[in-house]
Amino acid sequence: MRSFVRREGRITRAQEQALAELWPIYGIASDIEPLDLSRLFGREAPVVMELGFGNGETLVQLAAAEPQCDFLGVEVYRPGVGRLLRRVRELGLLNVRVFCDDAVDVLTDRISRKSLTKLLIFFPDPWPKSRHHKRRLIQPAFARLARDRLITGGTLHVATDWEDYALHILDVLRLTPGLRNLDPDNGFVPRPGYRPVTKFESRGQVLGHRVWDLLFERAE
């Protein structure tokens, strides 16, 4: 069961050019072998992964602000990957690498246990209709997979603007052994300062839309 439907949409000439020119530099080919992350980036550093980065707006801001960390982005939509690659080149970022693959496949096959310092999932598809809830990414099996890829003390950060999904995610993560809620009241946390507010989120705030942030730590 996939948590997405491929809606490729229109890809611009500039995005196509970026994919052609920059994918060999920053892209990671599909495979089933775990990555050697220190070899991939040419150094030992904390590794942060964002699943479903969309147009890459948040990922490039984080990578630019934290050059001491290495960043992995995962996105299935080629226009978004192309846009991210353009921004990476424009900003001269050396600490970003990109997958154009399904997030579950990447975590399962390419990322070793206890490899990630942070795992970020911002505004995943909420699949709002009840009959589609089974497609939601955050489910018990996925939560266990995410936990296993985090180092001890590593964090899983999820943000959503759908209250029903937020409550579902909270229940799933609370019940996942080895994950500890960093909210002292075992609920939602205020937006951490490192998470940028996207243009989409800003428009929603003007309309009174709320965003729920969840921050859990691998405890063992």
- State the catalytic residues: 125
> How many angstroms separate the CA atoms of 145 and 63, rounded?
24
Are the C-beta atoms of 64 and 95 separated by less than 8 Å? no
Contacts of 159 (CB under 8 A, 6+ apart): 121, 122, 123, 191, 195, 211, 212, 213, 214
The secondary structure of 134-161 as a DSSP string is GG-S--HHHHHHHHHHEEEEEEEEEEES
Phi, psi (rounded to 5 degrees) for 61: -65, -45
